[in-house]
Amino acid sequence: MTYRNPTPTVDIIIELIDRPHRPIIAIERLNPPHGWALPGGFVDYGESLESAAVREAKEEIGLDVKLIEQFHLYSAPDRDPRQHTISLVFIATATGEPIAQDDAKSVGIFAPWEIPSQLCFDHGQILQDYLRYRHYQIRPGIRS
């Protein structure tokens, strides 16, 4: 009997803390599927999820990030059209100017109300969840 398991990945919501409104970074993907996405990628064998997140951020946007917290785990079998993946999403902070590298065609810096609509994978859902969470964190005690 052959077993197939989902592949572990990480995605990183990177807030630029040296700019007003703590905008987040998205990359325009160089490889299919094309479109905008959060920085992230596959976890290497023998690598922790945290190390993978820091490495992927450095490889894709050239910035050192500080992981703040584990946000959510996303595991829908169709979240990545290439294969079944499970992604742990981290919230991280960084300062400086991101530069497109590795799998990134370009880099965008977006205020929460300017996030592109053409997002790959399930990153639209991830960012909706993050924006709800961030709104609650900024306005504690106020619930919608």
* 3 state SS for 16-46: ECCCCCCCEEEEEECCCCCCEECCEEECCCC
Domain for residue 74, yes or no? Answer: yes
Domain for residue 32, yes or no? Answer: yes
Domain for residue 144, yes or no? Answer: no
Give the residues across from 72 on adjacent strands: 89
Using CA atoms, how far apart are residues 101 and 85, in angstroms rounded to an integer?
A: 23
The pLDDT confidence band at residue 142, using thresholds 50, 70 and 90, is very low
Tokens 């977006």 locate to 110
The pLDDT confidence band at residue 144, using thresholds 50, 70 and 90, is very low
Contact 126, 13 (CB under 8 A): yes
From the CB of residue 134, how many other CB atoms can be counted at a distance below 10 Å? 17
Mean pLDDT over residues 107-131, rounded? Answer: 93
Mean pLDDT over residues 34-48, rounded? Answer: 97
Domain for residue 143, yes or no? Answer: no
Tell me, what's the pLDDT at 143? 42
Are β-strands 7-16 and 85-94 bridged in parallel, bridged antiparallel, or unpaired? parallel
| Better-predicted residue by pLDDT, 53 or 103 | 53
Tokens 């998205």 locate to 26
Kindly tell me if the per-residue pLDDT of 21 is higher than 50: yes
Domain for residue 13, yes or no? Answer: yes
Using CA atoms, how far apart are residues 93 and 77, in angstroms rounded to an integer?
A: 29
Q: What is the CA radius of gyration of the chain?
A: 15
Structural domain of residue 19, as residue ranges?
8-138
Arithmetic mean of pLDDT over the chain: 93
Domain for residue 2, yes or no? Answer: no
This prediction's pTM: 0.91
Mean pLDDT over residues 44-59, rounded? Answer: 98
CA angle 17, 125, 120 (to 5 degrees): 90
The total number of structural domains that make up the chain: 1
What CATH number does the domain containing 46 carry? Answer: 3.90.79.10
Domain for residue 56, yes or no? Answer: yes
